Amino acid sequence: QSLGIDNLRVLGASEGLGQHNTVWPPLQPELGVYDERLLEGLDFLLAEMAKRDMLAVVYLNNYWVWSGGMSQYVSWLEDEPVPNPFLEEYSWLEFMEFSARFYTHPEANAAYRRYIDMLVNRENVFTGLRYRDDPTIMAWQLGNEPRPGRGESGMRNFGVFTQWVGDTADFIRSLDPKHLISTGNEGLKG
């Protein structure tokens, strides 16, 4: 804030244990299990930002492997390993196609929505405000760099992806009509 920065983009979700090159420790180490200590850390961050008149854009998922994200939800529910592209046996295309399966996976999206519901309705232990009522949060972002995939598979997924964007934004809006909602910093790029 003293440098003139008044808006931060904040990771509001991380999933899974044991992936190479992922955030440690994660907010959701196992499906549906949330680390209260880390959530209180997010509470503290938002409370401190409020004291400094700063705003947060909180993103709620990730297309990429480094925080678990979409691929981790698919992995949990399909009992398949994430084809982590940081390991030599997998390509980035294999990973991207695996991660994009999230958009058409009803159970993965239901689990993601449960997380969103928990976070949006969470009461900050330092301020007493529910996140949905916290003016420090400027916007919810659906995810970090969500995209339909790459190449031909990405083109085939484009309609499903855009439907997911609309449905997920509507779901968040139903929980919190006060905050902005954004797709992600890459938006609809393929």
Binned average pLDDT, 10 residues per bin, the chain of 190 residues: 94 91 93 98 98 97 96 98 93 96 98 98 98 98 94 92 97 97 63
Amino acid 170: pLDDT: 98
Q: For 167, list phi and psi in degrees, rounded to 5.
A: -65, -40
Name the pTM for this structure. 0.94
132: amino acid identity, one letter:
R
Amino acid 185: pLDDT: 55
List the structure tokens of 12.
Answer: 């509001």
Going from the C-alpha of 183 to that of each of 6, 79, 141, 149, 189, the distances in angstroms are: 21, 28, 6, 15, 11
List the structure tokens of 79.
Answer: 């009992």
Distance CA 27, CA 62 (A): 13
Neighbours of 40 (CB within 10 A): 13
SS3 (DSSP) at 62: strand
Amino acid 18: pLDDT: 75
